[in-house]
Chains A and B, each alone.
Chain A
Amino acid sequence: MSHVRVLVGTRKGAFVLNADGARKSWTVDGPYFPGWEVYHLKGSPVYPDRLYASQSSNWFGQQIQCSKDGGRSWAAVGNKFTYEGEGGTHQWYDGTPHPWEFKRVWHLEPSLTDADTVYAGVEDAALFRSTDGGHTWSELSGLRCHGSGPRWQPGAGGMCLHTILLDPSDQSRIFIAVSAAGAFRTDDGGETWKPINRGLRSEYIPDPTAEVGHCVHRIAMHPSRPSVLFMQKHWDVMRSDDGGENWREVSGNLPTDFGFVIDVHAHEPETIYVVPIKSDAEHYPLDGKLQVYRSKSGGTEWEALTQGLPQSNCYVNVLRDAMAVDGLDECGVYFGTTGGQVYASSDSGDSWTAIVRDLPAVLSVEVQTLT
């Protein structure tokens, strides 16, 4: 029988939740790496018991942990992230040049084909790759050095590379996103990159339609249609049907189009989910009501999903890496909040229940469907 494993990264450690295919009863293991920030953890699609975790601390720096038994035990692997070449500068908050400085790994993306290969998106924004199970890391410097790097600038959370999408139909194609630079794509395995931000409009930069400088919060893709991308930008929900060459807004009837997460139903490539957040100044749901919005038409027409979610006095946030879906026949949808709840729906979002609550602030949620 299938079962589901949910990997939760929090401000003070990692947690692993397990349930059978019914998804009614959950076990909670952890905290792993107690007291450390765990920005993200994710399993290999090749060997699902191979997990990678990003463990960091403002005091003691970055660690990468690897588990080969589904999270029961962990071992520290390599934590040396060195930028290639001279380093160069990006823009600081005040527009002055600022040298690239490594701070932490925001996102780990295991290869679709090789359990020892894993990509790391880091702050200050760059993409690294390990081909030896995380022991050593090399920068794919063509991204940072392709020309627009000196114009990148940090968002409020830092200048982070937070999204890595591997194209299942083309191993040479990778999409990434940086706050606040925008989205980028390589078609040659990471050697060369280009900005893919045409159609984005951001009023908070001097040229609202600039090639780079957009605060992209998250991009999602359905594996069956890797040229169709969905984006939650700082403001605006966007869609591209041509691999990011052009974007159009699909915010439609959302009550606010600010937010962080966006994800796609496991079996319906036109069904997408967002969690609207009031504004860039007020990072919590509108009117204290936690609502997931679902579009079954790839955007523009949205419906509120509220059953089982708090509809009063709720002022949590849902951060960019904190939503995921499982692959069971009736798609499960999961998200974590800065209030420490992980909500799950086993009916594609129609109803929700908290499968754990009162964790430290949730930074990331990933889901594995295991047989």
Chain B
Amino acid sequence: MIRVILPSHLRMHADIEGEVKLTVKGVVTQRSVLDALEAQHPVLRGTIRDHATQRRRPFVRFFACQSDLSLELPDKPLPDAVASGAQPFLIVGAIAGG
């Protein structure tokens, strides 16, 4: 079971409370996690990845296991702790504003 934590804007938008729990078939990667997330919550399509390019939106970051994974390739396996559910995969809105 993969655990995903979304920023508050997206939790409200998708009417989600707390963590999202996902089942991911095959290798656990950014792409497979986001595919599973969007399949479970279709209103999130286009909010994390661009519709056309499927690239991460510029002001969105991916954190896990105290590391910034935002610049990793989308098909690179995520850490074992994320794949096992021991650690969550965090989707974060970049800090901005005053």
Please list the residues of chain A having a beta carbon within 8 angstroms of any beta carbon in chain B.
33-36, 57-63, 76, 79-82
Contact = CB atoms under 8 A, between A and B. Distances in A.
B8 A35 contact: yes
A64 B7 CA distance: 19
Nearest to A60: B47
B51 A82 contact: yes
B51 A59 contact: no
Contact of B59 (A36, A59, A63): A59
B12 A60 contact: no
A60 B49 CA distance: 9
B22 interface: no
A58 B94 CA distance: 10
Contacts of B43: 63, 76
Contact of B57 (A36, A59, A63, A76): A59
Given A59-B93, A82-B52, A76 B46 contact: no
Interface string B65-98: 0000000000000000000000000000110100
11 contacts: A35-B8, A59-B60, A60-B93, A61-B50, A76-B43, A79-B45, A79-B46, A79-B51, A80-B46, A80-B51, A82-B51
Query: DSSP majority for the B interface?
Result: loop
A60 B48 contact: yes
Contacts of B45: 79-80
Contacts of B94: 59
Contact of B47 (A34, A61, A81, A82): A61
A36 B47 contact: no
B9 A36 contact: yes
Contacts of B51: 79-82
Interface of B: 7-10, 12-13, 43, 45-48, 50-52, 57, 59-60, 93-94, 96
A57 B51 CA distance: 15
Contacts of B9: 35-36, 57, 59-60
Contacts, number: 46
Contacts of A59: 7, 9, 57, 59-60, 93-94
Contact of A35 (B12, B52, B96): B12
A81 B12 CA distance: 22
Closest 9 pairs (CB-CB, A-B): A60-B47, A59-B59, A59-B93, A76-B43, A79-B46, A80-B51, A61-B46, A61-B47, A35-B9
B10 to A, nearest CB: 6
Given A35-B8, A79-B45, A63 B52 contact: no
Contact of B46 (A33, A35, A36, A62): A62
A19 B8 CA distance: 33
Given A76-B43, A79-B45, A80-B46, A60 B52 contact: no
A367 B51 CA distance: 33
Contacts of A58: 59, 96
Most chain A C-beta atoms within 10 Å of own C-beta, residue among B43, B47, B93, B96: B47
Contacts of A80: 45-46, 51
A235 B22 CA distance: 55
